[in-house]
Chains A and B, each alone.
Chain A
């Protein structure tokens, strides 16, 4: 825990979310000091606990999932049976305690449970609620179920990845969910800030589909304005050549790109062929694009003689854009990510130490932190409902007797 009061200290969040799109919003808030309570039930834990690998040592179990762990560190976990009146009653008390409600169920589910925005406003005036789902809360396809991994196809990303003469390519996991969670976090915090200043609450309807389109907004305008349909083009870019990945001696890949003739001249010098800069086949951007295959072979002959990291360092020293293609394992050894303490090891209640992802940003005066690994299922029932919500010992026992925590 950081010694200074964190930016979101005192902010109370109830998260009725599962998988990635809801919980990742809560994680970002928790990293900067918000108290985030993740709500599941024992009969239906968060799907990321059970439905997808990895599991520690390959053995399944609700408290062994890496998928769940990576989006839920620094939070509190409670179990409530929302099919049980007593469970719903406690959910309502939790909402009454909170400043923010995050939910990513299908539209109308929260309202059917008696936990929708109107009820939440009555329980806690000025509450900020975000509802995030595939298509948004309205429209002809509002009720369409969907996984983010497939929504990345509907929103253009898969079709824009790969070779022009090959099939579309998968992006890893529910790619678009994290665009939506990022945009959702900015909206929910803006709502919180207004609440703090004016007392006014907000209901935010975030469609994951629409969020994704903000990442291709330029291509959308290109189509609307000029009828241009962007297409997948392997690793090519219209404004740079070379602009590709090259194999290196250590089996790793290196990417590099040249954004001016001068930058290409520096590259040509580095690969021992300074004459290429004046060669009619490569002297201009257009010429380099027209003779791309030939150029790639020449660069590839240089790159296979070096390790990727060494090659990138040599190129950066002469101001050429380059980086080794980090595999996932490499992310744990990357010196720049290490400097930023991107991975923070924290003790998990069931599976030992885990590397938790910190944040893409940090604050100079009140830095964020990972305050603990993801909680085990229902780990904080007593703390949350006794200490935060304020149930007496007897009340807690009564609810327990009624099966509220199942």
Chain B
């Protein structure tokens, strides 16, 4: 869908996903790294598959002159220069739009290009804190906690891709480029769903609740969310409502078939059960036989049987569980990319199926393109080289 566009990606870790998403949509994405910079990390490889790699040193005058020539012929530039950094003026939109007025410049930074904290340093930890997400994860009496695998970069990169395509839609209508200013901190707020509404509407400040669901019973009962099973954990919650009623009835049916002890579950009328009115004692009585039953199941058993019975609930997958999930295999989610050294690397494929087909990944991570070849492809020949005059103060 997006194969009409050329993208230059010089972002730092915070913006890597943006170019990957645009590549998955069909764009020709060129990732630029200085010569010698290592590209071996799993993150680099995973977020730069489907892009081509150009080695070019933007720290030199010559490198920047050359890069300007590529910018003149590109549709989208993704960069992460932050207020106060040496390269921030080189990436000023007022300069870039003279080089290419049709360019969409996507600036992905921790806090946005301007503002009182635009120059502050932040890694994933600070961004998950700044966007409020950490305050809602972890044990209630323990420290705020981040997801161990960085998430803020995904939130920022994902929003950057939306911003890029929004600006391209506008360009298609008007012919005009512009700058998209993305704040990772603002993007992380999305991770907290509707939490802000509690504060805005009623002055209630949501807090983290660990491994339990709280706030659903007017009698203060908390509901268990994570249950040990024979090879890990399950996520299951005694819900109310139509889907909860179906789930609870099916679970009891399943336990009955397995001749598991039902305890207080036996005789519970799910049509009348209302989680809002249950006391902790009642919840504990219901949960105790469920806990014993779940200990006899594996994660895969639960996943398949719960799915068959159209019950709510999923296992808590490890990375290995995900890698071997038949649902993903059936949808050809994984793609094996042959590499120059003869090995094969398995990647998450393109993120959506479009018109019945998952668009194949086209480039192995780190597949290099030479500068001359790329200049030819971009139509950035000698004529153009002499047309674009670098402005010395930015070199």
Contacts and interface: CB of A to CB of B under 8 A. Distances in A.
A279 interface: no
A285 B207 CA distance: 33
Contact of A196 (B17, B173, B208, B354): B173
B43 interface: yes
Contacts of A3: none
A48 B241 CA distance: 13
Nearest to A321: B121
Contact of B237 (A150, A220, A233): A150
B144 A245 contact: yes
7 contacts: A153-B235, A183-B161, A219-B149, A220-B348, A255-B134, A319-B121, A364-B179
A183 B352 contact: yes
A70 B233 CA distance: 32
B183 A360 contact: yes
Nearest to A355: B200
B122 interface: yes
Contacts of B210: 167, 169-170
Interface stretch (B60-68, B184-192, B283-291, B382-390): B184-192
B162 A361 contact: yes
A295 B17 CA distance: 34
Interface stretch (A108-116, A224-232, A395-403): A224-232
A336 B190 contact: no
A153 B186 contact: no
Which 7 pairs between the two chains have the least Cβ-Cβ distance?
A66-B197, A173-B193, A218-B43, A339-B115, A361-B163, A360-B187, A153-B235
Given A196-B169, A204-B352, A232-B148, A219 B319 contact: yes
A92 to B, nearest CB: 22
Contacts of B394: none
A28 B355 CA distance: 23
Contacts of A194: 1-2, 4
Interface string A78-114: 0000000000000000000000000000000000000
Given A161-B147, A172-B193, A215 B333 contact: no
A273 to B, nearest CB: 21
Contacts of A16: none
B114 interface: yes
B119 to A, nearest CB: 8
B211 A230 contact: no
Contacts of A319: 121
A370 interface: no
Interface in A143-170: 143-147, 150-151, 153-163, 166-170
A205 B353 contact: yes
Contact of A217 (B123, B176, B347): B347
B159 A146 contact: no
Given A182-B162, A360-B182, A153 B348 contact: no
B21 A229 contact: no
Nearest to B159: A360
A335 B118 CA distance: 10
Contacts of A224: 323, 334, 345-347
A336 B118 contact: yes
A169 B224 CA distance: 11
B138 interface: yes
Interface string A235-254: 11100100111010000010
Interface string B139-152: 10011111111010
A321 B126 contact: yes
Interface in A316-332: 316, 319-332
Given A70-B194, A218-B47, A253-B129, 18 more contacts: A54-B194, A66-B194, A144-B307, A150-B235, A153-B233, A161-B146, A178-B191, A182-B158, A203-B356, A218-B43, A232-B148, A234-B143, A237-B123, A245-B134, A245-B143, A326-B135, A336-B112, A336-B120
Most central of B156, B158, B187, B312 by chain A CB within 10 Å: B158
A363 B169 contact: no
B202 A160 contact: no
Nearest to A25: B162
Given A145-B312, A159-B316, A169 B211 contact: yes
Interface string B200-217: 111011111111110100
B115 A340 contact: yes
A139 to B, nearest CB: 4
B297 interface: no
B205 A329 contact: yes
A183 B158 contact: yes
Interface stretch (B259-267, B324-332, B367-375): B324-332
A135 interface: yes
A113 B58 CA distance: 56
A172 B206 contact: yes
B180 A53 contact: no
A193 B125 contact: no
A140 interface: yes
The main secondary structure of chain B at its interface with chain A is: mixed
A52 B142 CA distance: 26
Nearest to A160: B148
Interface in B155-170: 155-156, 158-170
Interface in A18-59: 20, 24, 28, 32, 48, 51-58
Given A209-B327, A364-B179, A182 B190 contact: yes
B355 A202 contact: yes
A210 interface: yes
B251 to A, nearest CB: 14
A207 B331 contact: yes
Given A223-B319, A359-B186, A360-B159, A204 B194 contact: no
Given A162-B138, A193-B172, A253-B144, A328 B199 contact: yes
Contact of B201 (A66, A203, A259): A66
B236 to A, nearest CB: 8
Contacts of B204: 54
A314 to B, nearest CB: 12
A173 B195 contact: yes
Contacts of A53: 198, 215
A257 B126 CA distance: 8
Contacts of A214: 17, 20-21, 154, 158, 348, 351
Contacts of A210: 328, 331, 333, 348, 351-352
B136 to A, nearest CB: 4
A262 interface: no
B358 to A, nearest CB: 9
Contacts of A321: 121-123, 125-126
A37 to B, nearest CB: 19
Nearest to B158: A182
